[in-house]
Amino acid sequence: MSWSGTRSRILVDSSVWIANFRDPTASLADRLRTLIDDDLVAVAGAIVYEVLQGTRTSQEFEAIRQIFLPLRWLPAQPASWVAAAGMAAGLRRRGLSFPMTDILLATLAREHRCHIWSLDPHFTLIPGVRLFSPPKVRPGPRRPRR
């Protein structure tokens, strides 16, 4: 299955990666694999850090590290950090506060014209963030019970 309509890269948040590694048989994992195969996935250092720091063994760490290596990494330049701080300050003045990592990811997604795929609903509150919603997988026909 290819999502040829999606031309911009998708910055996949740690929440999606963690769900993927917890249940690699889930439909979310199938969608993620398709995006990787279509070369549409991007990551950032903060995402890789969040995922890798939660591994339980050195073998798990290495296996997951190998998945991240060939993906497109979005660099955080000095201007990215300043833009993230400006975004956070503006949101805070409106009474909204978010984790620094999520503000940085929103900034990188805007700078690199990416969508964000996250299971965290607060990204919907950050102006200018384009969210990726994978198509729903339709269940196949039900088999009769035996």
At residue 2, the pLDDT reads 40
User: What count of residues does the chain have?
Assistant: 146
Q: How sure is the predictor about 24, in pLDDT bands with cuts at 50, 70 and 90? A: confident
Q: How confident is the model at residue 31 (pLDDT cuts 50, 70, 90)?
A: very high
14: Cβ contacts below 8 Å, ≥ 6 apart: 47, 50, 51
Angle of CA points 8, 25, 72, to nearest 5°: 30
Q: What is the pTM of this model?
A: 0.86
Confidence of residue 138 (pLDDT cuts 50, 70, 90): low
145 has pLDDT over 70: no
Of the ranges 22-26, 39-43, 50-54, 88-92, which one carries the lowest mean pLDDT score? 22-26
Tell me what percent of the residues of the chain surpass a pLDDT of 70.
Answer: 88
For the 10-131 domain, the top CATH level (class) is alpha beta
CA distance 37 to 53: 25
pLDDT at 26: 86
pLDDT value for 54: 96
- Statement: residue 4 has pLDDT above 60: no
